[in-house]
Amino acid sequence: MKIFLLSAICVILVAASPSNRNLPQFDDKVELQDQNNVNDEQEISPMFNAATDTRFLLFTRFNPTIGQVVSAFDMSTIQESNYSPARPTRVLIHGWQSNADSNVNVLTTAGYLRNYDVNVIVVDWSIGANNINYIASRNQVNNVGAVIAVLLDNLQSNGLMADFSRLSLIGHSLGAHIAGAAGKRVLNGRINTIIGLDPAGPLFSVGDVANRLDGSDAAYVEAIHTDIVQLGIGDPIADTDFYPNGGTGMPGCLTAICDHDMAIHYFVESLNSDRLWGRRCANLNEMTSDRCSGFGASMGGNYFSSATTMRLNVNIIPTQGNSNQITSIDFESLEIEGKLFRPLFNPTVDVKFLLFTRRNPFVGQRIILGDIRSLFESNFNISNPTRFLIHGWGSDLNSFFNIEGTEAYLRNNDFNVIVVDWSRGAQTINYVQARNRVGPVGRILANFIDFLHDNEALNFEELTVVGFSLGAHVAGFAGKNVNRGRINTIIGLDPAGPLFPIRNPSERLNATDAEYVEIIHTNSRMTGIGFPIGDADFYPNGGMTQPGCVRHFCHHDRAPLFFIESINSNNFFARACLSFSNIGRDCIGEEVTMGGEPSNSKNSVRGIFYLTTNRRPPFAQGPRGRQSTSNLP
């Protein structure tokens, strides 16, 4: 069997026969693979031993961010940890190409511990999951599940878990099937609940219940289907099956990976909200045709209410013998305005503007919108150009982007560097809430820019606004809403992708938001937007993954690292590509520089550009570099 990259899927996977399924290869083609051979030992990675390589990390309210390593076979590690038999226990299991720091672990752990005093055990099987060969990882599912079953049985046998009635397993993608495998293999009781977050589809036959997640694996099994077309299983396989938006095409997503991961975000949101409701459907056909009209049920966690942006119509209906309930959730309105805010965040008062200059390079001076005195008593120098830095989701004033970006600018010139601190809105585990604060934060920034101009403190022709991730879209909204002039340059550093539809430029960063908009894409199709949306769009190393990166967010974070280096080097040389589809293959145009100070606004740099970088700093390769060499898969 050939090795393949599941993330390269660009066509629909359809069943060809009971034993065959279309699977993607390295060249993005789809070929038939024989599912009868998925247990061939040659396809199992010899580098992974589930019994010794599966790690268990315990998180509690006493150690919410740093896990304690515990063993499935040595209960003294449990007894010496912060584990308490008096608490309920939640076990989290990641999927393919993930690890202990993946979204399903980090976000779900934070969500649980914020709301409940529970034991959260993260199953880290990354040595087996981080394999470019999906088949090898898929074939470790039962092995990892068996090790989890040993842990659970040992907890119960040693008096560390009275029974399994307060035990839940939550698995994403392949992790959902691992949870099922554990449920099938425990000996000392029956797991209370298993939640399958878009259980993986390729190489899992619906008819082969022994080797996939099934409704019989726990007292209650729930599945949340968000990508039934490509990466997830489409058929109902649990006691209750939820199909948000019909199970495919999640709002704001353009890729299968985004759809697949939205199951995680919906579940995390459900831990803070009881608003994820669906209507019961009589059958799968009724669900796909949006004709569900039965009574409602809550998807995921249903503990207490909090502000949410989604209006859900949850529908569940019994099928054969009332064994399966199918729930369709219609995310009808992803509103962008104020009713989505939690009362703890008010952009008018919570967005702060901190000025850094060569006279105060380390401690920012706060300038208050509308307060002329705070402006004139600061070190703001109207003779110097102004640069704004805007952080993204989960960040704050002290993020590496702000600190290193400020330092790089002040090393280059005596700028007015203003850091936009919207951490009160950005630091939430609920990505949807943070995303919906982008527009209001951008409008506050626009008002601030107009305030500076009205007090003769700003020249639009010398203004650059730089935003990372969600911050890139904040910059776009600022550009859309300034009234006193037009921003000269906006630099978007891997603009966030989830929930930003390409077809709606009024709700995202767009080339029309400034005289010149430059985009640096480093994690397209995952965390960042993949399509060109600026005047000039740069795709280092193809724009999807970056050399030297292992963890997911490393690829995303490379965009600000590249830009910060460019401020004082101007050494990232790139070549123009004939089209978006030819990135890295037909890029033979004249060399231009990416990023840099000053920007390319006056250099007529327009189009799509490709370059390669080094694996570690300094990242820039200089003129011509290795532009003729492609790092694309």
Instruction: Assign 3-class secondary structure to 173-239.
Output: CHHHHHHHHHHHHCCCCCCCEEEEECCECCCCCCCCHHHCCCHHHCCEEEEECCCCCCCECCCCCCC
Give the DSSP H/E element, type plus range, for residue 34: strand 30-34
Q: What single-letter amino acid sits at 426?
A: A
- In angstroms, rounded to a whole number, what is the distance separating the alpha carbons of residues 354 and 341? 24
Question: Within 282-326, where are the H helices?
Answer: 284-288
Catalytic residue among 172, 177, 225, 260: 260
Catalytic residue among 173, 378, 395, 423: 173
Closest CA to 453 of 443, 440, 463: 463
Catalytic residue among 198, 261, 513, 535: 198
8 Å CB contact between 613 and 621? yes
Residue matched to tokens 């515990």:
70
Closest CA to 224 of 179, 178, 285, 172: 172
- For the question of residue 601 being annotated catalytic, the response is no
8 Å CB contact between 518 and 494? no
- In angstroms, rounded to a whole number, what is the distance separating the alpha carbons of residues 446 and 478? 4
- In angstroms, rounded to a whole number, what is the distance separating the alpha carbons of residues 549 and 537? 21
Q: Within its chain, how far is the Cα of 188 from the centroid?
A: 37
The helices-and-strands tally (H runs, E runs) of the chain is 17, 26
Integer Rg of the chain from CA: 25
Calculate the alpha carbon distances from 114 to 99, 108, 110, 469 in Å. 22, 10, 6, 25
Name, in order, each residue with C-beta under 8 angstroms of 629's C-beta and a sequence gap of 6 or more: 612
State both tokens at 273. Answer: 């909200």
- In angstroms, rounded to a whole number, what is the distance separating the alpha carbons of residues 543 and 584? 10
- For the question of residue 198 being annotated catalytic, the response is yes
Instruction: Assign 3-class secondary structure to 399-423.
Output: CHHHHHHHHHHHHHCCCEEEEEECH
- In angstroms, rounded to a whole number, what is the distance separating the alpha carbons of residues 316 and 576? 52
- For the question of residue 260 being annotated catalytic, the response is yes
241 sits in the region (left: phi over 0; alpha: psi -120 to 50; else beta) called beta
- In angstroms, rounded to a whole number, what is the distance separating the alpha carbons of residues 600 and 563? 13
- In angstroms, rounded to a whole number, what is the distance separating the alpha carbons of residues 15 and 388? 51
8 Å CB contact between 105 and 90? no
Closest CA to 214 of 188, 189, 253, 241: 241
Closest CA to 118 of 3, 231, 271, 263: 271
Tell the burial category of 287 from Cβ atoms under 10 Å away from its Cβ (0-12, 13-18, 19+).
buried
State both tokens at 389. Answer: 């830095």
Name, in order, each residue with C-beta under 8 angstroms of 340's C-beta and a sequence gap of 6 or more: 307, 308, 309, 433, 436
Closest CA to 258 of 232, 289, 290: 232
Give the DSSP H/E element, type plus range, for residue 565: helix 552-567
8 Å CB contact between 360 and 456? no
Residues designated catalytic = 173, 198, 260
